[in-house]
Amino acid sequence: MKNTAKSKIAKAFKSPSEAWAGLVLRLCQKPFISDETAIKAEFRAYMGHTLDLNNPKSFNEKLQWLKLHDRNPLYTTLVDKLAVKEWVSSKIGAQYVVPTLAIWKDVDEIDLNVLPEQFVMKANHYSGYVAICRDKETFDFSYAKKRLAAMMKKNLFYYAREWPYKDVKPLVFAEEYLEPDETGSTADYKVFCFSGEPKMIQLHKGRYSNHTQDTFDPQWNHLDIRQPGYPLTDVTPAAPKQLEEMLRLSRILSAGIPHVRVDWYINRDQLKLGEMTFFDASGLCPFEKYEDDLMIGSWIDLNRAYSANGRP
């Protein structure tokens, strides 16, 4: 038996509920299963209770409702990691977008010769893997190509029925390398916006080492909001000097949208958009205190959400 298989079995025995949730998720990725059936089954498996779509109250519940009912066609552009750059440039300026170095329709077209010594490579339609090249001589291109090729065959929509991803045309692209901080990765500021107003900021640090998550209000007061698997930093980080600019730009980008998370990096003192996300952790990540799930859920006004045909 391979070591990977052994580790999966060991993990299943240590956490049978997690193993069961993973199995449900895989089964629900079949196209013949309806969106509502898949969403309800996944929610029950991950959250441990039944999803109430008739009267959703918590943040995670309302995200499931939005998956089914908020079908604004603009969202397909905003989740496309390439297309969103042009849209953001038109709204706030190209200086806030990470420059694209090259675009390919297929991994076999990738030409490393056109790229600088350092770059980042990813798929525009999927999440979960980013190829980071810090040095071409040591970069494992074969592994990166294999991972990206697998992603190109998948449709993220079926993972947890996040509708905006369904019609994104798969592409591979390379973009400018952003300098990491002392943890070896770039700090990620996730601004949770509700009908155009930032209400909460998550700061993720050490993504590739000791991944921490701290939560703040817009005035950078530290909030005791936690999710399993994400410890707090030992010393609460200070507010970035770009905080007010980050909030102002997030208001512009999130205007008219019931809920969207606007992600930012800070590179050489310049704000750079990471991505725009409509369903944080697919709406399948509980909070340590259910009261926090309810509080954040109260910020989503479903009456302002778009109906299934795109009309307000």
Q: Please tell me whether residues 42 and 88 are part of one structural domain.
A: no
Please, how many CA atoms are within 13 Å of residue 203, restricted to the half-sphere of its CB? Answer: 22
Q: What is the pLDDT of residue 100?
A: 98
Same domain, 167 and 112: yes
**Does 273 fall in a domain?**
yes
- Which tokens in the block code for residue 210? 């000791």
The pLDDT value recorded for residue 3 is: 46
Nearest residue to 234 (alpha-carbon basis) of 212, 217, 219: 212
Same domain, 270 and 188: yes
Render each residue's pLDDT in the chain as its tens digit; 312 residues: 444 444 433 443 445 567 778 888 888 899 999 999 999 999 999 999 999 999 999 999 999 999 999 999 999 999 999 999 999 999 999 999 999 999 999 999 999 999 999 999 999 999 889 999 999 999 999 999 999 999 999 999 999 999 999 999 999 999 999 987 666 668 899 999 999 999 999 999 987 778 899 999 999 999 999 998 888 998 999 999 999 999 999 999 999 999 999 999 999 899 999 999 999 999 999 999 999 999 999 999 998 775 443 444
Given a contact cutoff of 8 angstroms between Cβ atoms, the answer to whether 95 and 86 are in contact is no
Is residue 56 domain-shared with residue 19, that is, in the same domain?
Answer: yes
The answer as to whether 288 is a domain residue is no
Residue 10's Cβ-count burial label (10 Å; 0-12, 13-18, 19+) is exposed
In a shared domain, residues 191 and 168: no
The domain in which residue 16 lies consists of: 3-69
**Count of domains in the chain?**
3
Is residue 305 in a domain? no
Give CA angle at 127 (125, 129), nearest 5°. 120
pLDDT of residue 255: 96
Whether 91 is covered by a domain: the verdict is yes
Give the CATH number, domain containing residue 247: 3.30.470.20
Looking at the structure, tell me whether residues 65 and 84 fall in a common domain: no
Q: Are residues 58 and 116 in the same domain?
A: no
| pLDDT score, position 185 | 67
Structure confidence at residue 19 (pLDDT): 76
* pLDDT value, residue 6: 42
At 234 the three-state DSSP class reads: coil
Residue 186 CA to residue 208 CA, distance in Å, equals 10
C-alpha–C-alpha distance, residues 108 and 104, integer Å: 9
- 3-state DSSP call for residue 120? strand
Instruction: Identify whether 62 is part of a domain.
Output: yes
On whether both 99 and 120 belong to a single domain, the answer is yes
CA 17/CA 4 separation, integer angstroms = 19
Do 237 and 166 share a structural domain?
no
Q: What is the pLDDT of residue 167?
A: 97
CA distance 53 to 66: 10
The three-class DSSP label of residue 45 is helix
* Boundary-marking domain end, from 175, 194, 219: 175
Same domain, 156 and 115: yes
Task: Choose the final residue of a domain: 175, 204, 227.
Answer: 175
Q: Are 172 and 101 in contact (CB under 8 A)?
A: no
Q: Which of 13, 39, 69 is the last residue of a domain?
A: 69
Identify the residue whose tokens are 């952003």.
178
Q: Is residue 312 part of a domain?
A: no
Angle at 19 (CA atoms; ends 276, 33), nearest 5 degrees: 65
Q: What is the pLDDT of residue 113?
A: 96
Structural tokens at position 109:
């077209």
Is 150 within the bounds of a domain? yes
Give me the long-range contacts of 17-21 (CB less than 8 A, separation at least 24): 17/48, 20/45, 21/45, 21/46
CB atoms within 10 A of CB 179: 10
Query: d(Cα 64, Cα 293) in Å, to the nearest integer?
Result: 13
Reference 208, options 134, 262, 285, 282; nearest CA is 134
Q: Please indicate, yes or no, whether residues 87 and 58 belong to a single structural domain of this protein.
A: no
What is the pTM (predicted TM-score) of this model?
0.89
Quick check: is 302 in a domain? no
Contact 96, 88 (CB under 8 A): yes
Q: Is 166 found in the same domain as 196?
A: no
